[in-house]
């Protein structure tokens, strides 16, 4: 297709997907959030009833022992849970506020992206001319090579991770709905969103899902956790390797470090972008080391020839 036709078709598909989400899924998520907020605003949790229900559903001596200790703790545990619920309420309110404030930015970015795509060749040509004008030929080629690598790494990693996380979210919604886990659309969306973050994402996403399930229906908390573990195993062994592939190319140590440092510096965006940044730095350093070794090898060959 020609560029303009391709951009137009891509916009139509994207608008269709967003419209479907808004029409079909968003109302259920909003209803789930409202129900959770109403549950939290009631303020008081009957610890005795929760523990009794859990003990009656799970016949295990260890569960009985823990339940007895929780009942003895009484008011202290109740205070902790109520504080946790209020924290969850504030977190949900903050999320809703950010979504509302980010709508204008998303629309503006969408419009800017259309113009950038339509003028892509001109922008790239101007960028190359600028680099060649202000740097020597060898340096300019090195800089352009780094940008080429960055484009390949970021595009392949982010596209693969977004597709992978979307599939994980859909699987979670279906499994939660089938198992009658409370607020299945919202909980599945949370898991899919946090799955974008390597390593830590599934853990971060599972915490609110299990907590909300426990407060609404304690027996379903264990069900939700089992579903999350099974789907994460499917993702880790089949989906992620096939979709994201070997684009990461660094050891788990560097991935965990990049996610931790990126998260501390830039929050969730830093946790997501930290991995491709580290991959890019790794490739640039490896290329530089390889060139240095080749140059030193040639120098040593020249010196040996002169000695002979």
86-145: pLDDT as tens digits: 676 676 666 666 666 667 777 788 888 888 888 888 888 999 999 999 998 888 988 999
pLDDT value for 227? 92
Task: For the chain, give the longest Cα–Cα distance.
Answer: 92
Identify whether 89 is part of a domain: no
Identify whether 148 is part of a domain: yes
Identify whether 5 is part of a domain: no
Identify whether 174 is part of a domain: yes
* 104 close to 92: Cβ distance less than 8 angstroms: no
Measured between alpha carbons, how far is 211 from 215 in angstroms, rounded to an integer?
A: 6
- Residue 60 gets which letter from DSSP? -
- Tell me the residue range of the domain where 238 lies: 137-308
User: CB 78: neighbour CB atoms within 10 A?
Assistant: 17
Measured between alpha carbons, how far is 286 from 123 in angstroms, rounded to an integer?
A: 29
The domain tally of the chain equals 1
pLDDT value for 26? 67
Identify whether 104 is part of a domain: no
More confidently predicted of 155 and 93: 155
Is a pLDDT exceeding 80 seen at residue 275?
Answer: yes
DSSP per-residue letters across 171-191: HHHHHHHHHT-TTHHHHHHHH
Lowest mean pLDDT among 11-25, 209-223, 263-277, 291-305: 291-305
Identify whether 123 is part of a domain: no
Mean pLDDT in residue range 14-22 = 78
Where b means 16+ CB within 10 Å and e means fewer, 196-210 reads bbbeebbebbbebbb
pTM of the full structure: 0.68
Identify whether 224 is part of a domain: yes
Measured between alpha carbons, how far is 14 from 28 in angstroms, rounded to an integer?
A: 21
Mean pLDDT in residue range 139-153 = 89
Category of 267 on φ-ψ map: left (φ > 0), alpha (ψ -120 to 50) or beta: left
pLDDT value for 106? 75
Identify whether 243 is part of a domain: yes
* 81 close to 47: Cβ distance less than 8 angstroms: yes
């Amino acid at each position: 297709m020609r560029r303009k036709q391709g951009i137009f078709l891509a916009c139509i598909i994207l608008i269709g997907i967003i419209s479907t989400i808004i029409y079909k899924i968003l109302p259920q998520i909003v209803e789930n959030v409202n129900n959770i907020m109403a549950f939290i605003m009631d303020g008081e949790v009957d610890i005795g009833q929760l523990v009794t229900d859990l003990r009656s559903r799970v016949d295990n001596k260890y569960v009985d022992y823990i339940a007895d200790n929780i009942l003895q703790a009484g008011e202290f545990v109740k205070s902790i849970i109520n504080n946790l619920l209020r924290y969850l309420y504030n977190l949900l309110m903050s999320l809703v506020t950010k979504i509302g404030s980010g709508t204008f930015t998303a629309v503006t970015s969408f419009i800017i992206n259309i113009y950038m795509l339509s003028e892509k060749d001109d922008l790239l040509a101007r960028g190359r001319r600028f680099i060649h004008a202000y740097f020597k030929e060898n340096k300019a080629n090195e800089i352009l090579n780094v940008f080429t690598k960055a484009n390949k790494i970021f595009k392949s990693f982010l596209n693969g991770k977004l597709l992978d996380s979307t599939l994980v979210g859909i699987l979670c919604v279906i499994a939660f709905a089938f198992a009658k886990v409370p607020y299945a659309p919202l909980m599945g969306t949370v898991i899919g969103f946090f799955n974008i973050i390597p390593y830590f994402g599934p853990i971060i996403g599972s915490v609110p899902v299990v907590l909300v399930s426990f407060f609404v229906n304690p027996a379903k908390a264990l069900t939700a956790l089992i579903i999350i573990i099974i789907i994460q195993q499917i993702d880790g062994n089949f989906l992620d390797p096939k979709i994201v592939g070997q684009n990461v190319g660094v050891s788990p140590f560097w991935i965990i470090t990049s996610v931790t440092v990126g998260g501390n510096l830039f929050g969730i965006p830093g946790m997501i972008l930290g991995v491709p940044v580290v991959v890019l730095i790794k490739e640039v350093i490896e290329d530089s080391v390889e060139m240095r070794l080749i140059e030193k090898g040639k120098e040593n060959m020249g010196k040996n020839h002169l000695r002979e």
